[in-house]
Amino acid sequence: MTTVFDFTATTLGGTEKSLVDFRGAVLLIVNTASQCGFTPQYEGLQRLYEDLHGRDFAILGFPCNQFGKQEPGSAREIEEFCRCNYGLGFPLFGKIDVNGESAHPLYKHLKHERPGLFGTERIKWNFTKFLVNREGRAVARYAPHHAPQSLRRPIERLL
């Protein structure tokens, strides 16, 4: 049975990272963008990360430019923006596609495992969130309008 731990992703620094490194942790996987109306959610995501990281919780951010071209920057620009404006400490990966033929395999898996409203697998916008249990299974999918703090209770139940 495939889990998120079976995938790899390229970090913002350009190195391949196996997600097996997160085995045993509860994960929140989010497609992000620096020029989106939901971008201020970075603040709430960072707060969740700081509060829960010591309890084997991690957030994995995947910048995506597929929605309104709201993540046009290079890896360096994305990293600098997130560090300077939000002090992000959770891992950010290289820019990916989440929909279409070129969608990252991790996102193909997540969308299949946790389809959205009416069974659609398509990601509708930036800051869609997948909650993953310690076994690497996506247990919930949250639309962009769900603020990070609203996910605290479901995350804590898995911890």
CA distance 127 to 144: 5
Catalytic residue among 36, 64, 82, 84: 36
Q: In 3D, which of 70, 53, 58, 54 has the Cα closest to residue 127?
A: 70
* Catalytic residue list contains 82: no
Give the single-character DSSP code of 73. Answer: S
CA distance 131 to 146: 12
Other residues' Cβ atoms within 10 Å of the Cβ of residue 135:
13
Catalytic positions are 36
